[in-house]
């Protein structure tokens, strides 16, 4: 069996960095992908999809330090489905990509941002490891996800 997602898109906002009760860094961010086509009248149509991405450990640290809103990134990981209860007690479902690989693709921004990206290596592949057990539970420790 194979569970792998690959997307290239732009961050919708700056990443959110948090920590699990065990002290593991967790970074979440949204990535927009879009597609364009012409409809039957020849008019240009664009559709944008938003993807929730979550990274753990060293990859979470790199994403939190070097990614910013608007940055073009390549993300590879696995698709994960979770259920959680929001603040009102309503059960919610969530689909996210658990990142195992991230690569910064553009050089947008000032020289300092470019230097930071180079220091980060621009590309990081996390060791394959499952997310912590509490991330697979039905409660959402991360303040009533989604964004």
pLDDT tens by residue, 7-36: 999 999 999 999 999 999 999 999 999 999
Domain count, the chain: 1
| Residue among 106, 5, 1 nearest 52 (CA) | 5
The per-residue pLDDT for 114 is: 41
Across all residues in the chain, what is the average pLDDT? 82
Confirm whether 26 is domain-assigned.
yes
Q: Is residue 41 part of a domain?
A: no
Is the pTM higher than 0.75?
no
The verdict on residue 84 lying in a domain is yes
Give the span between the Cα atoms of 77 and 3, in whole angstroms: 8
CA distance 44 to 51: 23
Is position 146 within any domain?
no
CATH number, domain with residue 51: 2.40.50.140
Question: Which residues form the domain of 118?
Answer: 5-34+46-136
């Amino acid at each position: 069996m194979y569970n792998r997602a690959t997307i290239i898109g732009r961050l919708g906002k700056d990443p959110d960095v948090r920590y699990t009760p065990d002290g593991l860094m967790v970074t979440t961010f949204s990535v927009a992908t879009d597609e364009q086509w012409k409809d039957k009248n020849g008019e240009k149509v664009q559709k944008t999809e938003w993807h929730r991405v979550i990274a753990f450990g060293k990859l979470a640290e790199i994403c939190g330090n070097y990614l910013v809103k608007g940055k073009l990134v390549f993300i590879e990981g696995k698709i994960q489905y979770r259920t959680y209860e929001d603040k009102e007690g309503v059960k919610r479902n969530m689909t996210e990509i658990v990142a195992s690989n991230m690569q910064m693709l553009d050089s947008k921004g000032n020289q300092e941002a470019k230097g930071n990206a180079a220091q980060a290596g621009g590309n990081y592949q996390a060791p394959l490891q499952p997310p912590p057990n509490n991330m697979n539970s039905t409660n959402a420790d991360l303040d009533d996800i989604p964004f």
